[in-house]
Structure formats: structure tokens, C-alpha cells
Amino acid sequence: MPSNKSVSDAPIVQFTNCRILRDHQLQREDLWVREGKILNPEKLFFDEKGSADVQLDCKDSIIAPGFIDVQINGGFGVDFSLATDDFKSGIDLVSQKILSHGVTSFCPTLVTSPSSVYHQVLPQISVRNGGTHGAGILGVHLEGPFISKEKKGAHPEHCLRTFEAGAFQDLLATYGSLDCVQIVTLAPEMRRSSEVIRELTKRGICVSLGHSVANLSQAEEAVQHGATFITHLFNAMLPFHHRDPGIVGLLTSDRIPAGRRVFYGMISDGIHTNPAALRIAHRAHPKGLVLVTDAIAGMGLAPGRHTLGQQVVEIDGLNTYIAGTKTLSGSVATMDTCVRHFQEATGCSVETALEAASLHPAQLLGIEHKKGTLNYDSDADFLMLNDSLYVQATYIAGEEVWRQDVSGM
């Protein structure tokens, strides 16, 4: 038997009658999947003389890469910044529930907390692949406590920290471990932040600038030391000013190192950012825009009182406030809602809206060779959507993990 007859005996699934998002365009092609990866059909036909074992009619759906949420604080009554005995079951619940939003992998996010919370919670989170049990975990996003008091937003002031002598050791002592940390949000104007940014970057951890009163030159210096992300642009930072645009100015800065791209998160929920501001950012720097939910424990729950770490928050419609104030505190928007709102607010193409929630976060985390695209050999994490960008089904590693129940419609 010729050795190239078949590389693998695993079943090959062919998704037909669909439009695939590939190379920034919706292309009318079939999608071929085997062993959790996307196959090159030419290699299959000519090298292996193979064919499909199963054919699935997608009924003219859009097939797009799965969404990646790099900033989500919790949902469905679960708060990632609370150390509880059943923390693992909480993170499992959220990872299961967000499959219906099209999220196939995410970074659980902890807001500013006492050191004891990091020491209890971080060892309970591990990087893992997604599947029928839920979306994959890419690593933790630590938002604070090394942030500005003036721009603390919903973060508790008594837990904020500054960098003392031996700044990086101070950070390590605060968190306890960086083993599964993927992103750290800090304020770059803090003394000794440059050495911390360099050390984190050296370890492959993405540094994000946020909750900050940094001016543009401080932000540019942070990028030159390795920072690559901006946490929820416009929120918890100095407003744009024409003489010193602050962190916002990074979107059009000419002092970004060659070959480097600065990405920025946006909460496209219609509450945190006016549609005009969303349009300004997108037109200024379209390739850097990363949609994030910044969702809190109240996502998916009825209005009322919920938590965000050490604080009590009140949900009123789509608004979430620190109880008794008008300080916004995260969102209750789902990722698919953010994608639809972004497309509607900016008038961008369907492809652009989908890539802001898939390709761009994958590029930010340096995992675009396996996630965020439907390129050959990448992970078969993808969504079926209708033309209005409502998720109809979610697949992880080529396996259906969620489907819209249409029986009652």
C-alpha cells in the first residue's frame, strides 16, 4: 500500500454551502476538517487521494474563526476576582455558557484585589484547550493593582499598589505566580514601570496600558520597552487632548518601533464608548482594534446587585455602576452583541467586524498561527453565523459544542 494513501484514518468532515472568512474576505469555499485541524483540500486530494467521510450542508451560513475574549471578569453570577471554595466550577460554568456567544477561547480577568486573592485564585486557573466542556483558557489577564489612583474606575482604592525598589520582585510577591498569566494591565507613568514592562515582556507576557494618567511620551516609552496593548481605549485614561493626546495618541504615533503593532481593546456595547468615538478609533487604526466584553458577574443575569471583586455593582438595563455612584464598572454585553454593535456603529464590513473579535486578539497574543484564522493547519475553532451575525453554532477542534435551538422558533 502506498505510504501517501492516507496520513490518518481519522474521519474527514467537509462543510459545504458556506462562505468562509479567509484572507480578510468571505469566500465561497468548502471547509475541510480532520483531527481538530483545518485541512488543505488540495493536499488531501492529490497527496493522500482522500475524500470526505462526512458532508455537512451549512445552508449558506458564514463560517468565521471563533471569538477570543481577552478581557472578561466573569458572568452568570461568577466573579473571577472572588476567592471561593468552588472557584473551578465557576470558571467551568462561564466557559460553558460563553460558547453560545461564539467565544471559543478567553482570558479570565482579575480586577485589582488584595494579594491574598491572587495567591488563592491564580493556582486554580490553568491554561487548557476548549471542547464540549467549554471555551479554552488562554491564560489570565491581571488588570491592576499597579494602576493610577486618579483613573481607578471600578477598582478598589485600598488595594492599589505602586512599584517599590525591586519593582519586579514586588509584582511577583503580589501575584504569587505568573505561571498562567497572559496579560498584565498597568499604568506606565508609575515609577519603575519600565523595568517591569521589560521583565514581563521577556517572559512572553503581554503588557497592556490602562487605568492611567500617562501622557503620550510616557505611553510611547512603554511601547518601546515592550507594551503592545491598551486596556479599554478611552475608558479610565486621560481624554484626548490636541496638545497631548495621552495613551489615545498611540493609535497614530510615529514612535512605535518598526515591525510592532499596538493593539487596543474596545468595549463595543453602546454604553462605554460613544459610536462616534468607536468610529474615530477604528478609522485611525483599524488593524489594532480588539473587541472585548469586559463582562462582569452580572452578564446573563437579571438587573440588580452583583459583585466585581471587592465592590458591589448595580445593573440597570445595559448600564453597570459601582453601587450608589455613576462610575461604570464593566459591562454585561456578550461578545456577539459587541461584534454586531461594532459593525452597525462603524459601517465596517462583516469581515472587519468578525476579525476584530478573532484575528486581532490572536495576533495580540501571538497565537495567530493556530487561532483566529481559518488557515490550513490552524485549530478548527469556528462559528456558523447568519448574515446578521447571530451565532447559529459553535465548533471547537472541529466538534460542535453549541447550536442554536430553533425548535421553539
Task: Tell me the mean pLDDT per 10 residues along the chain, length 409.
Answer: 54 97 97 96 82 95 98 97 94 98 98 97 97 98 98 96 94 96 98 98 98 98 98 96 97 96 97 96 98 96 92 91 92 97 98 98 98 98 98 98 78
Q: Is residue 75 left, alpha or beta, with left meaning phi > 0 and alpha meaning psi from -120 to 50? A: left
Cα within 13 Å of Cα(14), Cβ side = 14
Which residue is it, cell 453565523?
385
> Is 53 among the catalytic positions?
no
- CA dist 173 and 209 (Å) reads 21
Q: Which residues contact 113 (CB under 8 A, 6 or more apart)?
A: 81, 121, 144, 145, 159, 309, 310
The cell numbers describing 192, all together, are: 519603575
H or E element at residue 71: strand 67-72
- Binding site feature residues for Zn(2+): 143, 211, 232
Residues at the binding site are: 143, 154, 211, 232, 235-236, 243, 272, 328-330
pLDDT on residue 5? 40
Q: What is the sign, positive or negative, of the torsion defined by CA atoms of 247, 251, 257, 263?
A: positive
Per the annotation, binding residues for substrate are 154, 235-236, 243, 272, 328-330
- The three cell numbers locating residue 133: 466542556
Pairing between β-strand 319-322 and β-strand 311-316 as defined by DSSP bridges:
antiparallel
Q: In order of start, what are the domains of the chain with their CATH numbers?
A: 4-64+372-403 (2.30.40.10), 66-365 (3.20.20.140)
DSSP class per residue in 299-358: TTS-SEEEEETTEEEEEETTEEEETTS--B--B---HHHHHHHHHHHH---HHHHHHHTT
Residue 2: its pLDDT value, please?
36
CA 370 to chain centroid: 15
Return the pLDDT at 3. 36
| Cα–Cα distance for residue pair 121/83, rounded to 1 Å | 6
Instruction: Judge whether 63 and 374 are in contact, CB under 8 Å.
Output: yes
Catalytic residue among 294, 336, 379, 381: 294
CA 247 to each of CA 11, 279, 359: distance values in angstroms, whole numbers, following the listed order: 50, 17, 23
User: What was the pLDDT predicted at 407?
Assistant: 60
